[in-house]
Every structure is written in C-alpha cells, then in structure tokens.
Structure 1
C-alpha cells in the first residue's frame, strides 16, 4: 500500500509542477503582450508629440511681411524640388499666399493658394510636406500679410525639449517610464542602443533630420501591471495544490478508516460470537444434564447465560446511546457537584483497581466544583475515561485523577501510563467507531464508541476536551467546564 501511495503522491506532485510550468509560460506571454502594447502606444504617442511640436513651431516662427506695390495676383514660379539631400542644414523659406475674390468682388480669405520658395537648391520632399501641413491647417490664423517668412535650422527642435514633452505626455497617459531622445542627420549612422530598452520608430523632421526615441526603466511599470495576473496564477496553483493535498489526505484517511472498519468488524464479530456461543453451550448443557438432578449447576448455567445476554444488551445500548446523542437528544441540566459525581464513579471502580493492583491517586484542589449539567451523561463520561485508563494500562498500572479550579473554570484530568495513542489517530479518536488498529488482537474489548460519546456529551455541556498522548508513555484527557 505504501508503494501505491507513493505513486499517487508522485503523480500529484507532477501535476502541480505541470501547472506551475504552464502558469510560468502564460505569465511570460502576458508580460510580452504588455510590452508589445506599451511599445505600440508609446511609438504612436512619440510620433504625435514630435508632429504637434513641429506644427506649433512652424506657425509660431512664421511672421507676415507686407511689401508695398506687390499686386495680389502676383505669380511666383514654385521651386522645382529635386533629390533628397542633407546639404544646407539651415533652410530659409518664403511663403506667398495667393487669394482670389469672393462672390461680392472683394478680397478675403477665400480661394487661397500657397507658394513656397526656398533659398536652398535642393529640399527633401518629406521635410517640405512637414512644413506645408501645418500651414494648411493653420492658414486662417496667419493674419493679413502677402508674404510670410520663417527660418528653421537643426537647433529648432532640441532633443531635450522633445524628451521633456514626451515624458510629460507618457505620465499623462499613465505610463510611469523614462524616455530618451536622440537627434541625427539623415545620412548619419545611428549609434547602438543600450540593452533592455524599447526602441521607438524614428521620426523625420525638416530638414534631413531624424529623431530617435526609446524607453528605459519600463520593467517596474510592467511588473506592476503583472500583479493581477500573477495573483490569479498564484491562486490557481494554490487551489490546485490544496485540492491535490486534500485528495491525498482524504485517500490516506479512507485507507485508515478501511483498516479501522476491518478492525471494528473483527472485534464486533468476536464480541458477538462469544456470548452467543456461551448461551448455546449453556442451553445444550441444561438439556443434557437435566434440571432436576443438578439444581445448583442449573442456576450457575442460567446466571452465565444472563451475563452474556447482558453483554449483548450493553453493546446495543452503547450503539443506541451514540445514535441518540447525534440526534441532539435532550439533556437534563441542573446544578451538580462534579467532585461528588467523580468520587462516586471512582468508588465504583475501586474493586477493579484493587483487583488488578493499580496504583491510583486522586487529587482535589479547591472547594467549589458546582456546574450545570446532566448527572447521568457526565457520569457516563467519567466512566468511559476511567474504563479506558484501566483497559489500556498494560505494563505500568498507574492512574491519576486530578480535579481543580482555575479562573472560573473547573478542570478534570485523567492520566494513565498505558500504551498511548499514535499522533496520526489523536484527531480522529473522538469520532464514532474509531479505534487504533490492534492487528486483530481482542484482549481489549470495545467498539469505538466510548470516546465519541464523551466528546458529544462534552459538546452538549459547552465544555472542552483535549488529549495529550505519546505511544508507550500513556495519555492525559483534560475536561473543562464552566464553574457556577
């Protein structure tokens, strides 16, 4: 059976480890998803931040210039834009706005056309688009000039300014991370990024400049987001582990109960066979010997049969009493003196103790031992505990009974030097039909009902019962009642 249990245990541990591995890969996948989401959202926010700053900068640096004598319909040939180049990093532009007449025949902000003239020879197309876009969006706010000039150079948008604005935007969105921004010319190679950073897509701005950004110290932010998934994974592992442990403990308990069942069935069978066989022998003897010739022998045999039938009756009463206690049978509560009841039961055991040469000691400390309880049922409690102390004391026949007061409580202890109770059975010993397996040895009679009755009666009296026991050293049963 131990090998079978070991296989079950290994299988359960392997199952828990499998769940742990699966949870680890699931958490890793969740972490990567959070990281990917952070990269995508941060890249979009980075692009929007740079674009917004550039739009604001173009409109802010553009000033209208009025040139007298220049007709409104003047046409200036647009610049032919050639190949992309990074030459002439300082660009000067002249913006001319042509506007037509409205329906009333007057000049107004209608039918406007934008002409862009550069002082340089070659301008990258993407850079020019970045300039024209904010002009188209903010044209109506430019005022009444015929010509507008502005100047952009490589120092117009500094990395520090972009970095500061980008970090504020990240914080506003709830991203508690740090950002770094670098600036390069379009033909300048990018330097290698540090390790453990999130690279953001580079942004191109006028003219021939690239803005590179990346995130660092983002792990703490992601770990905070992982708290809820990690707690969920932990709860799943703990629940499965607890379930496996409960199943394993329940299996062991069922195995112990199976052993106890076999032991109790063996004991009850033995207990039933003995009186039945004895009565059968008595009846056979009475039939063979005759009742007239041997009157004394007849009376002796009849007394033997009565005693055996009394044993059967006692067995039935024990089982019935246990059943009634489970059904919350009413108890007759009234004031009683526990020391008087205890001494009465001790007196009834005196012949057995003297006959078996027990060393018995009774200690009483205090004067007030009044409690509210049922005389008969508390008497059954004391009887069962004393009876067990006698039955399970094999080599060292020593019993000590101690009754004392303690802080409004009355404490009763019954101690023996018997065989003791293994720790594995101490929590279950107060359940019905629970007996420590004795390997089919019937020198100690019982049905596993005595301590179950004791525990149930103590519960009905709102008392407490505890057990201290070591195998080979004996047991101590402690009862506690409320003093009146």
Structure 2
C-alpha cells in the first residue's frame, strides 16, 4: 500500500510540475506577444511622428505673398534651369537634372533628379495643406531611392534633429499611455548602429532624407511588461493553486480513507476480544471460587459472585450497544440524577479487582474532599470510569501502577486516572478522542480494541457538561482527567 501511495504521490507531483511548466511557457508566450505588439505600435507611432515633423518643415518654409524671389543657387553644369509651377497662391521652384522641355508638371520629374525645392506660398491654411499634399509624393519618392548620392534635397537648409524627434516621440507615447523613456539615435543610411543590450527594445529604422536614418529604442521597460503581465500571472497562480490544492486534498483524503479502512478492518478482528473481556473476568471469578470453600468464606463467595454478575451485565450492555449502533453518542433527553463518583469508582475497581490482583498491579485511590456528587447518568459515567481504568490496565506493561484521584475543585469534581504505561505520542493526543482512532504500537500485538472507548468517553463527558484532558509522554505513562459540574 505504501508503494502504491508513493506512485500516486509521484503522479500528482508530476502533474503539478507539468502544469507549472505549461503555465511558464504560456506566460513567456504572452510576454513575447506583448513585446511584439508594443514594438509594432511604437514603430507606427515613430513613423507618424517623423512624418509629422517633416510636414512641419514644409510648413515652416511657407512665405507670405509678395516675398522676394529666392536667390539662385550654384549647381553643376549638367543641372537644368529647373521648373516653376505657380498659381495664385503659391510658387514652387524645383531644380532638377534633365530636360526641362519634357517636364510639364511636378509629377513628371523623377525623384532621383531633384536637387532643391523652393516654395513661396500664400498665408492661408488651405494653401499650406494643399502644398503639403502635393509635395509629399515627391519626398516619399526620394526616400525610396536606393542610391543616396544621386540627389540633394533640402528644405531651407534644415534637417530632422534626433533630439527634436525624441521629444516629440515621447510626447506621443505619453498621450498613448506608453513608456516615455524612448531614445533616438541618428546615422547615415550606410552606417550601422552600435549594438545594444539584449533587454533593449529596438524599433524599426525610419529613413530621413537626404540619406539619413533614425532609430528609436527603449531601455529599462521590463517593469511596464510585468505590469501588463500581472493579470495573467495572477490567473496562472490561481489555476495552479486551485489544481494543486485539489490534488493535495484528494491525496490526504485518500490516505485518511485508507487509514479508516485499516481501522475498520481491525474492528472485525478485535471486537471479539473486547467482548471476551467480561467473559474472561467471569471465568477468573469462577476459577477463584473453586479455590475457596463457599461454606468457610461466604463473604468472599458473595463478593466474587457480585463481580461475575456485574461483568455479565456489562457484557449484555456492550453487545446491545454494538448491535444497535449506540456507540455514536449518548441519546438526547436521557434522565439525569445525582450520582456519587466515589461510589462508581469503587464499584469499577471491585469489578476489575481480580484482573488487578492476578496481573500484580499496585492500585491507589486518593480522595481530596468529601462531596463528589454530580448530576448525570450512573450507567454512562460508570462506563467512562471503566474505560479509563481498562485502558490503564491494557497499556501498562513494565511498571504496573495505577492511581485514581478524586478531588473537589470549586464547583467541579475532578477525576484523574494515572498510569505508568507506554504513553501516547504527541501527534495523536489531539485525535485520540475521535472515533475509530487507535495509536499504532510496533511492539504491542496483544492489546485489542476497536477505537471507540475514548471517543465514547469524550462524548459522555461533553454531554454531562464536563471536560476531558490528557497529559502523556512516551514511556512515562498517561494521565486522563475529567471535570464534571457538581450536582
């Protein structure tokens, strides 16, 4: 059975470990997904930020109506005179390389041939928006060129500054409730950026004309991802705790069920011994009577016959209780009356006297007080005393000494039964008053019982408004003490 339990325990632990690994894999997958989504979202925000900054550079180059013509610029001999596209609100001057006679509109100019764009525009916002819409395709076309040395593109000599992009980008991130720790670095398109740490989140490069690129990266943003991962982590822990706790409860219940089955099986083999105890006492009484002459010692004969009658009465009562399952507690509504505990103790001691004498017990009765009357049922309280004395006899193997103490304690009567037997382990002292509980004894095989005596004792004492306690040490013996309210 122990081997099978170890297999069950191993399977449960393996299941929990596998579940834990699956949870870790799932959390890592969620974390990777969050980082990918973060990288994608911030990359789009970076591109839109750069585009907005480029548009702002166009708008900065707009001039009021009547602004003096832009001065000419030096250009190579191969550069054509350029093209002027104008209407009532703006003038766009595009210097380019090629045959100007073939160019009728700005869209006819290949982006690779553009050298400079100069703009003179009106004051209206509508004109500025229209200008931005018309120039954007040209700028985007320049950005897509593979050759970086085939053109020169300037907007009033201004270029995109990394610090400006960083400030604008972090502002956009703040508006979107994202970490505002982005850093921007800029390089020529043919140059490589320096390597960063593994935990750094690096965004896609964004080309910036003419011939540059910028890159955004995030450092120390693990806390942001952990905060987003916290609900998933809590859910995983709850699932793991629920399943692990369920398996643990199932295992503990299985162990308790096995123990209960063993104890119940022990009842079947030991209950006959419990019933034989009164029979053995009667047999011992009859054997003792054979050694005495009834005519010479009538008092002894009378005493022994009374013991036999009491034992037969107890045997009948025990059999009825087992058959009728009355071992589960005292019936409600039982009649209570004044009961003298001193008298009950002496009666039970006399009942067990043949066993005490035959096994060589040293018995002592100590009385501290004069009034030991309580309110209760004599039969039930007699059963309590008998069980405590019977246990003291059973578990006293080397030092055979039993001491019963009756004392008055205020409004209570205290009865303690002390033996010098094998004792009860500390781990079982709280459970000893439960039903079908027997303490395992490796070196004792002849002590029989079915684990109902102390359970019944505890229930009877509780029904009488009293308390029962235990003090015990292994190898030193045990002291059972009951306190009952006075009548």
TM-score range, shorter chain: 0.5 to 0.7
Instruction: Map 1:320-399; keep pairs closer than 5 Å.
Output: 323=326, 326=329, 329-330=332-333, 342-351=341-350, 352=352, 355=357, 356-360=360-364, 362=366, 374=376, 376=378, 377=380, 380-399=383-402
Deviations along 1:396-417, whole A, 9 cap, x unmatched?
2344566889999998654432
Q: Residue 406 and residue 7 in structure 1: after superposition, are their counterparts in 2 closer, same or farther (change >3 A)?
A: farther
Q: CA deviation at 1:25?
A: 1.5
Residue 478 of structure 2: aligned partner: 475
Instruction: Map 1:264-279; keep pairs closer than 5 Å.
Output: 264-271=267-274
Q: Is this contact kept in 2: 1:177–1:217, CA < 8 A?
A: no
Give the SS at the match of 1:212.
Answer: strand
What stretches of structure 2 of length at least 5 have no aligned partner? 70-85, 93-103, 145-153, 283-301
Instruction: Map 1:42-441; keep pairs closer than 5 Å.
Output: 42-60=42-60, 62-66=62-66, 72=88, 78=105, 81-84=109-112, 93-95=118-120, 114=131, 125-126=140-141, 151=156, 153-154=158-159, 157-176=160-179, 178-271=181-274, 309-319=312-322, 323=326, 326=329, 329-330=332-333, 342-351=341-350, 352=352, 355=357, 356-360=360-364, 362=366, 374=376, 376=378, 377=380, 380-399=383-402, 414-422=417-425, 425-436=428-439
Residue 10 of structure 2: aligned partner: 10
Give the structure-2-normalised TM-score.
Answer: 0.67
Deviates more, 1:321-330 or 1:193-202: 321-330
Deviations along 1:284-318, whole A, 9 cap, x unmatched?
xxxxxxxxxxxxxxx9xx99996775344121354
Q: CA deviation at 1:448?
A: 2.4
Q: Residue 389 and residue 201 in structure 1: after superposition, are their counterparts in 2 closer, same or farther (change >3 A)?
A: same
Deviations along 1:128-168, whole A, 9 cap, x unmatched?
89xxxxxxxxxxxxxxxxxxx963512xx432232233234
CA distance in 1, matches of 2:90, 2:173: 47
Q: CA deviation at 1:344?
A: 4.2
Instruction: Map 1:27-46; keep pairs closer than 5 Å.
Output: 27-46=27-46
CA distance in 1, matches of 2:213, 2:264: 84
Q: Residue 64 and residue 150 in structure 1: after superposition, are their counterparts in 2 closer, same or farther (change >3 A)?
A: farther
Residue 450 of structure 1: aligned partner: 453
Q: Is this contact kept in 2: 1:185–1:208, CA < 8 A?
A: yes
Corresponding pairs, count? 422
CA distance in 2, matches of 1:374, 1:164: 90
What stretches of structure 1 of length at least 5 have no aligned partner? 100-107, 130-148, 280-298
Q: Is this contact kept in 1: 2:330–2:460, CA < 8 A?
A: no
Deviates more, 1:460-469 or 1:18-27: 460-469
Give the SS at the match of 1:63.
Answer: coil
CA distance in 1, matches of 2:112, 2:483: 97
Q: CA deviation at 1:66?
A: 1.9
Q: CA deviation at 1:23?
A: 1.9
Deviations along 1:417-437, whole A, 9 cap, x unmatched?
222335565454323333346
Give the SS at the match of 1:184.
Answer: strand
Q: Residue 224 and residue 95 in structure 1: after superposition, are their counterparts in 2 closer, same or farther (change >3 A)?
A: same
Q: Is this contact kept in 2: 1:78–1:115, CA < 8 A?
A: no
